[in-house]
Amino acid sequence: MRFSSEKPIFAQIAELLTGQVLDGKLGPGQRMPSARELAASLEVNPNTAARALQELADSGLARCERGTGYFVADKGPALAKADRKKRFFGEDLPRLFKRMDELGIEPSEILDRFAARSGSKGVRS
């Protein structure tokens, strides 16, 4: 994994694991990689990996079982989706709207392309 300098490494690792939960690679009740496993596979300090896991536990996405490790919480996928959705509406969508304004793109153009991409009919109301 290549890390960005824009965010702390532990936050990027937490994002990576959150993505695995959203993708279904890690499901509710499933054991997450240990801090040592993460550190070895991502070539980071074990303390950094441990901080990422603790971040997930603090957010409710994971639960820590003393002596056995971190596990995806039962509500972990729903919490991950809600968090990503909140960030999308708070960060990504405003950037998209700004770019649309800069380029003179109408919302109808976006809807048409979305409908064509997803194959859905009746996206417009």
Domain boundaries, the chain: 9-76, 77-118
Report the share of the chain in percent with pLDDT over 90: 86
| Residues 6+ positions from 118 with CB-CB distance below 8 Å | none
Q: Kindly report the CATH number that applies to the domain delimited by 9-76.
A: 1.10.10.10
* Cα 97 to Cα 93: distance, rounded to the nearest angstrom: 6
* Cα 75 to Cα 91: distance, rounded to the nearest angstrom: 24
Per-residue pLDDT of 60-92, as tens digits, reads 999 999 999 999 999 999 999 999 999 999 999
- Report the range of poorest mean pLDDT among 9-13, 32-36, 112-116: 112-116
Instruction: Read off the amino acid at residue 65.
Output: E
- Identify which of 33, 9, 8 has the alpha carbon closest to the alpha carbon of residue 21: 33
Is pLDDT at 125 greater than 70 in this prediction? no
What pTM was estimated for this model as a whole?
0.79
The residue length of the chain stands at 125
Which ranges in the chain belong to alpha helices (H)? Answer: 9-22, 35-42, 46-59, 76-87, 93-103, 107-118
State residue 119's pLDDT score.
Answer: 67
Rounded mean pLDDT of 90-102? Answer: 95
